[in-house]
Amino acid sequence: MPSPFPSTSSIAGKGNIYLTLLPPSTPTFSHLTYTYPLKLLPSTPHKLSPRVTKKPPSPDDALPRPPPPPETVPLLFLLTYGGGLVAGDHIDVSVRLDTGTRLTVTTQGSTKIFKPSASAPPTTRQELSVHVSNHAALWIAPDPVQPFAGSLYAQKQVFNVERGGSVGFVDWVSEGRKARGERWAFAGWRGRNEIWEVYGEKMERRRLVVRDAVVLDGTDISGRMDGMGVFGTVLLRGPLFEALADFFVEEFKALPRIGGRSWTNAGDTAQELTAGEEWRRKRVQREREDGVLWTACNVRGCTTVKFAAKEVEGAKTWLGNMLKEEGGVGREFGDGGLMFVR
Amino acid sequence: MSSIADKRVLTEEIAHLEAQLTAARARLNHSPTPSASNSNPALPPNGLPSHPLLLLSDSALPLGSFAFSSGLESYLAHNPYPKTASEAFPHFLTLALTTLATTTLPYLLAAHRSPEQLQELDATLDACTLCPVARRASVAQGKALLTLWERALRTGAGESPAALALGEFSVVLKSIPLHRDDGCEVSGHFAPIWAAVTRAMGITLRESAYTFLFNHAKAVVSAAVRASVMGPYAAQGMLAGTWLRGEIEDVMARNWGMDVEDAAQGVPMCDLWVGRHELLYSRIFNS
């Protein structure tokens, strides 16, 4: 059967982002260009307080010390005119982060994917190609993509990461316009995320670390989603996301067993819970109420978190709760990196 | 890109011609004409179904497939109320087959068409299999099949590019230290090894793919029997029925032309059910 995603030939909404470090440690956009229907809007950067690293100095002095963090972390809004993309739109963004820089990318509200009209090519495309240098870090935290009934959408994000570079992103899709009774009523949704490790003297070699791909097309997409209203993935790689990655994996392991029985009585509160345990108890209870299901695991040097919830709000609450409790994103990338779960 | 496509078309053509040649030779050898002295009156004119195919579709094949429920156990634990298990099962089986066909079938097809690419395909499939429970199931069965190939099937299969690729694969697999998460390029995933073994044993592409999916369905149905979802007669009825056949043919048709790069999870919820299998309080399966 031929692919339901025919090629498009319309004008691309091209974007180019190149972040460099001016001495001593001031990040500057040496390139920041975009064409319709894409808009890249820098906002107030997050100031990083100069601080001593938490880890004690390594006894192994042979290891080169990482450079100090940059003074600020720019915040960039990735916007589209009208808050959505029509059929045939092709967004193509390229990002390059020089050594020692950090960048937060977010959106303002969900990216709506409109239904094709008769004239335009039917598929809406978004492509992102990223290069993260050593000691650089990128956090991409958009609102979910919201494909309307009948829409056809394909997304591809390729992250080329040098050893010592960090990348973390959230990629999620909702069922559509629930208020209008749309439940996974789009014609097709295809998403692919790849993390490549680049190495070699001139960074000319690369190795596929992970490829996370989802395709939702054909009939009865709704039946496949088992009553969920939103589904997403968080991928984390690199030293700056290590603590967050471990946090997700540890919290996953600490989830209550499914089908297990609680042997503690409701009135039995003799056991004092620590603040962390109390937070977890409340979070797990909220997960139940919101129908949140999630997994986290570390495979091939990347941490993959998959989640689904009955509604976008439930997923937002859960994700925000996790990210805020761990605190790394807010500290290292600023509150802009958490706007998407507000 | 076009050269790869051309190569694939050519490879397919060669495989097709080879199959025709083999069939023609077989017809010549088993010619039912009275003049042929070696004709076997016990065999029908078209020959019996392929012997290797019968061998590889046996559920007693020592691959350990019985240990995996492919998410069924977890699915049932996550959906205890809305439907009774026997009603929910066909739905789940469709999802399990869809998942396998969208994520794994392209690798099977590619490895059967070009067995010399076995190592690259295995490495790419490893990068695409992000759920540890699914990885365990795939690698355990893949390695078991490779061992079975080396110890039992290889001698009868003769020389072929696929047999050569399997030999090289095995050397590389054994030369790397075990339990290494990073830097290990060859893992031994089930689908590419299945493809190479079936190719080496002369099983056609379509038969190989169909048997792979049908074996998967058999494993899930068998898991359903042991999980008390259905009785053994209902299970055989489901395996024998036209419904399952139609489902397998449907997922094959829908993913037949899919490139390896486009393989993707068609049922994202399966990743969650399979991944959360580790959270089950009591388990009778490994996945």
**In chain A, where are the structural domains located?**
12-47+68-257+273-341
Per-residue model confidence (pLDDT) at position B45: 66
Cβ atoms < 10 Å from Cβ of A311:
17
Cα distances (angstroms) measured from residue B61 to each of B169, B215, B278: 21, 10, 26
Cβ atoms < 10 Å from Cβ of A138:
26
Mean pLDDT value across residues A53-74: 68
B283 touches chain A (CB under 8 A): no
Full DSSP string of A294-321? EEEEEETTEEEEEEEESSHHHHHHHHHH
Q: Does A213 contact B275 at a Cβ distance shorter than 8 Å?
A: no
The answer, yes or no, to whether residue B256 has pLDDT greater than 80, is yes
Q: How confident is the model at residue B220 (pLDDT cuts 50, 70, 90)?
A: very high
Kindly report the nearest CA distance between residue A20 and chain B, in angstroms.
30
B183 touches chain A (CB under 8 A): no
Q: Write the residue in A224, A299, A307 that is nearest to B95 by C-beta.
A: A224
The answer, yes or no, to whether residue A270 has pLDDT greater than 60, is no
Name the 3-class secondary structure at A276. Answer: helix
Q: Does A257 contact B267 at a Cβ distance shorter than 8 Å?
A: no
Higher pLDDT, B99 or B60: B99
Higher pLDDT, A89 or A244: A244
The answer, yes or no, to whether residue B22 has pLDDT greater than 90, is no
Per-residue model confidence (pLDDT) at position B165: 96
Kindly report the nearest CA distance between residue B264 and chain A, in angstroms.
5
Domains of chain B, by residue range, sit at 1-48, 50-279
B179 contact partners, CB below 8 Å, separation of at least 6: none
B276 touches chain A (CB under 8 A): yes
Supply the Cα-derived Rg of chain A in whole angstroms: 21
Q: Is the N-terminal amide bond of A37 cis, ω within 30° of 0? A: yes
Most confident of A79-88, A208-217, B68-77: A208-217
CA A73 to chain centre: 17
Share of chain A above pLDDT 90, in %: 71
Per-residue model confidence (pLDDT) at position A64: 64
Q: How confident is the model at residue B24 (pLDDT cuts 50, 70, 90)?
A: confident
Name the 3-class secondary structure at A75. Answer: strand
Per-residue model confidence (pLDDT) at position A9: 45
Residue range B122-136, pLDDT digits in tens: 999 999 999 999 999
- Distance, in Å, from the CA atom of B20 to the CA atom of B7, rounded to the nearest integer, reads 20
Residues of A at the B interface (Cβ-Cβ below 8 Å)? 1-3, 190-192, 208-216, 218, 223-226, 228, 231, 255-261, 293-295, 297-302, 304, 306-308
The answer, yes or no, to whether residue B23 has pLDDT greater than 90, is no
Cα distances (angstroms) measured from residue B57 to each of A115, B54, B62, B63, B224: 45, 5, 11, 11, 19
Which residues on B lie below 8 Å from A1 (Cβ)?
253-254, 256-257
- Distance, in Å, from the CA atom of B243 to the CA atom of B229, rounded to the nearest integer, reads 18
Per-residue model confidence (pLDDT) at position B18: 83
Which residues on A lie below 8 Å from B77 (Cβ)?
258-259
Per-residue model confidence (pLDDT) at position B33: 45
Per-residue model confidence (pLDDT) at position B183: 47
The answer, yes or no, to whether residue B34 has pLDDT greater than 50, is no
Mean pLDDT value across residues A5-22: 77
Full DSSP string of chain B? -HHHHHHHHHHHHHHHHHHHHHHHHHHHHT--STT-TT--TTS-TT-PSPHHHHHHT-TTSTT-GGG--TTHHHHHHH-SSSS-HHHHHHHHHHHHHHHHHHHTHHHHHHHHH-GGGHHHHHHHHHHH---HHHHHHHHHHHHHHHHHIIIIIHHHH---HHHHHHHHHHHHHHHSPSS--SS------HHHHHHHHHHHTT--HHHHHHHHHHHHHHHHHHHHHHTTSS-HHHHHHHHHSHHHHHHHHHHHHHHTT--GGG--BS-HHHHHHHHGGGGBSS-SS--
Mean pLDDT value across residues A281-299: 95
Q: Does B181 contact A301 at a Cβ distance shorter than 8 Å?
A: yes
Beta carbons of B113 and B12 less than 8 angstroms apart: yes
> Residue B193: left (phi > 0), alpha (psi -120 to 50), or beta?
alpha
Mean pLDDT value across residues A170-181: 94
Question: Checking DSSP bridges between strand A123-132 and strand A12-22, what pairing results, if any?
Answer: unpaired
Q: Write the residue in A293, A300, A304 that is nearest to B182 by C-beta.
A: A300
User: Which of A225, A235, A258 has the highest number of chain B CBs within 10 A, making it the mutation to test binding with B?
Assistant: A258
Q: How confident is the model at residue B181 (pLDDT cuts 50, 70, 90)?
A: very low
Which residues on B lie below 8 Å from A250 (Cβ)?
none
Mean pLDDT value across residues A154-173: 97
Cβ atoms < 10 Å from Cβ of B127:
21
Per-residue model confidence (pLDDT) at position A58: 52
Mean pLDDT value across residues B110-125: 96
Share of chain B above pLDDT 70, in %: 87
Q: Write the residue in B102, B124, B182 that is nearest to A215 by C-beta.
A: B102
Q: Does A1 contact B269 at a Cβ distance shorter than 8 Å?
A: no
Q: What token pair was written down for B208? A: 């190989």
Share of chain A above pLDDT 70, in %: 87
Restricting to B residues 105-124, those with a Cβ less than 8 Å away from any Cβ of A are 123-124
Q: Does A223 contact B77 at a Cβ distance shorter than 8 Å?
A: no
Q: What token pair was written down for A150? A: 């009948």
Q: Does A297 contact B275 at a Cβ distance shorter than 8 Å?
A: yes
The answer, yes or no, to whether residue A56 has pLDDT greater than 80, is no
Which residues on A lie below 8 Å from B98 (Cβ)?
224
Q: What token pair was written down for A77? A: 């809004």
Kindly report the nearest CA distance between residue B193 and chain A, in angstroms.
21
Higher pLDDT, A217 or B48: A217
The answer, yes or no, to whether residue B4 has pLDDT greater than 70, is no
Residue position matching structure tokens 């090629």: A7
Residue of A76, A203, A60, A53 lying closest to A134 (CA atoms): A203
Which residues on A lie below 8 Å from B130 (Cβ)?
210, 212, 297, 299, 302, 304
Which residues on A lie below 8 Å from B128 (Cβ)?
210-213
Q: Write the residue in B78, B127, B254 that is nearest to A300 by C-beta.
A: B127
Q: Write the residue in A211, A258, A308 that is nearest to B280 by C-beta.
A: A258
Which residues on A lie below 8 Å from B254 (Cβ)?
1, 218
Q: Which residue of A has its CA nearest to B128?
A: A211
Name the 3-class secondary structure at A14. Answer: strand
Burial of B216 (0-12, 13-18, 19+ CB in 10 A): buried
Residue of A207, A167, A201, A163 lying closest to A63 (CA atoms): A163
How would you list the strands of the sheet with A152-162, edge to edge?
A: A26-34, A12-22, A90-97, A123-132, A152-162, A188-199, A205-217
Q: Does B256 contact A1 at a Cβ distance shorter than 8 Å?
A: yes
Per-residue model confidence (pLDDT) at position A267: 54
Name the 3-class secondary structure at A341. Answer: helix
Q: How confident is the model at residue A10 (pLDDT cuts 50, 70, 90)?
A: very low
Which residues on A lie below 8 Å from B78 (Cβ)?
258, 293
Q: Does A224 contact B132 at a Cβ distance shorter than 8 Å?
A: no
Which residues on A lie below 8 Å from B74 (Cβ)?
258
> For residue A119, which phi and psi values (nearest 5 degrees)?
-85, -45
Cα distances (angstroms) measured from residue B263 to each of A190, A219, B135, B154: 10, 18, 16, 30
Q: Does B264 contact A190 at a Cβ distance shorter than 8 Å?
A: yes
Per-residue model confidence (pLDDT) at position B99: 95
Q: What token pair was written down for A310? A: 């009955």
Higher pLDDT, A271 or A190: A190
Kindly report the nearest CA distance between residue B162 and chain A, in angstroms.
25
Q: Which residue of A has its CA nearest to B97?
A: A224
What average pLDDT does chain B have? 87
Full DSSP string of A176-224? S-GGGT-SS--SEEEEEEEEEEEESTTS-EEEEEEEEEEEEESS-HHHH
Mean pLDDT value across residues A84-113: 92
Q: Write the residue in B77, B256, B276 that is nearest to A295 by C-beta.
A: B276
Question: Checking DSSP bridges between strand A188-199 and strand A90-97, what pairing results, if any?
Answer: unpaired
Least confident of A172-186, A285-299, B61-75: B61-75
Q: What token pair was written down for B152? A: 């039992």
Q: Write the residue in A3, A211, A259 that is nearest to B77 by C-beta.
A: A259
Q: What token pair was written down for B144? A: 């078991």
Q: How confident is the model at residue B32 (pLDDT cuts 50, 70, 90)?
A: very low
